Amino acid sequence: MKIRSILFATLGVALMASCGGKVSDVTEITGTVVPAGISEVNITLGEAVDTLVPVTDGKFAVTIPADPTALGVVAAANYGTNFISDGTPLTVVIDEKTVVTSAYPEVSVQERLNAYNEAEKGYIEQYRTKQQKINSDSIMTQEEKDAALENFFDTFFAEYRDHNLKAYTENTDNFVSLFALQNLRNEFEDSKLDSLINLLAPALKEHKSVKSMQKALQARINTAEGKPFIDFTVNSVVGMTRSIPPQPKYADVKFSDYVGKGKYILVDFWAPWCGPCKREIPNLKAVYDKYAGENFDILSIAVWERQPVQVTIDTAAELGMNWLHINNAGSVPTDIYGVEGIPHLMLIGPDGTILKRGFHGAEGIEAAVAEYLK
């Protein structure tokens, strides 16, 4: 079965013209602090506001600029939440479940954010409950469970994608669109994602998350199928090829030391902490055992490592990854190739041309390799 993963973000929907309340160019915030002993509240709004507001008898008040393209934060001690400075009067109750409400819900981005937060909780609960129900079924075989999960994932993710797309297109003039965009970034082809980004208000396009996404998009364009590979150099453990060195030694290693040398190379971006990466290893081993030789090899590149390189070496040994390795690569190769999630696979031809990328699973890997090594 296919392995799917989900990234949930807290979303909202757009500020819409309506009767029932006036939207101002400032947002008046009044609040109550329930926990005792808190003397001040920190209010931030992008780069425009960062202020400490005194708390008197458990109450506070502040007026800040309205800016629906920025994400605000209200925090006190270990309590707090995000909010949208939407130009309507906002009321904050700070406690274990800090909430922000608007006096004019008909025109408030914040109130529609609140409504969406509830829907988001529903998606999370549906995802967890259904998956747990299938996995704990005592009657179905594992094959039947896999099929049931596959069907559920297909339906669930299609609905969740449409939900986020609607939220995004209704909010391209305010910050909540960026939450939706994070959930959509892996759901569409790069050309579609680029067209969605172009719908954003100019101020939102300047946000660092959008800039990062655009940078990754351009990197993938530069390294798309049919393009030559782009070289890089990292300080990697040497000798970690056919055997695992007992005493790791480091040296500068180039990507071009392995690719463009007359072989088909299946490149595997992975990390030892990454569960989906490790679940993909048996599929890599299957094609390695079948095709490895003078015309084919696998190169696993450990990226985004969170632990000492010895953990990478030990994990590779435990998993039987008896092929070529580059480790300690950090984000160098993923920045160049626009990789935003792992595992990520690429097949590079003997002359260094990128033949395929982004495939996965036993069938996908076998099909990609077999196309060239029949």
Task: Tell me the one-letter amino acid at 258.
Answer: Y
| Residue 47 within any structural domain of the chain | yes
Task: Tell me the one-letter amino acid at 137.
Answer: D
Mean pLDDT within 341-366: 96
Q: What is the CATH number of the domain that holds 66?
A: 2.60.40.3390
> What pLDDT digit, counting tens, does each position of 121-154 carry?
999 999 999 999 999 999 999 999 989 998 999 9
Give the per-residue pLDDT at 2: 37
| Residue 88 within any structural domain of the chain | yes
Task: State how many domains the chain has.
Answer: 3
* 195: Cα separation from own chain's centroid: 19
> What pLDDT digit, counting tens, does each position of 48-74 carry?
999 999 999 999 999 999 999 999 999
Query: In the predicted model, is pLDDT for residue 273 greater than 50?
Result: yes
| Residue 242 within any structural domain of the chain | yes
Choosing from 67, 83, 103, the residue where a domain stops is: 103
Report the chain's mean pLDDT, rounded to a whole number.
Answer: 91
Mean pLDDT within 167-191: 92
Mean pLDDT within 322-330: 95
Q: How much of the chain is helix, strand and coil, in % rounded to 5?
A: 40, 25, 40
Give the per-residue pLDDT at 14: 36
Task: Answer with the residue of higher pLDDT: 340 or 242.
Answer: 340
DSSP assignment letter at 77: T
> What pLDDT digit, counting tens, does each position of 213-238 carry?
999 999 999 999 999 999 999 999 88
Give the confidence band of 15 by pLDDT, cuts at 50, 70, 90.
very low
Question: Residue 305: which of 219, 236, 215 has the closest Cα?
Answer: 236
Mean pLDDT within 271-299: 96
Stated as kind and residue range, the H or E segment containing 150 is helix 142-169
Give the per-residue pLDDT at 21: 67
Residue 76 and residue 140 in one domain: no
> What pLDDT digit, counting tens, does each position of 94-105 carry?
999 999 999 999
Residue 214 vs residues 183, 196, 345, 364: alpha-carbon distances, Å: 15, 11, 21, 27
Mean pLDDT within 10-38: 74
Domain, as residue range, for 96? 26-103
Choosing from 45, 77, 103, the residue where a domain stops is: 103
Give the per-residue pLDDT at 22: 86
**The Cα angle at residue 319 between residues 316 and 321, in degrees rounded to 5:** 60
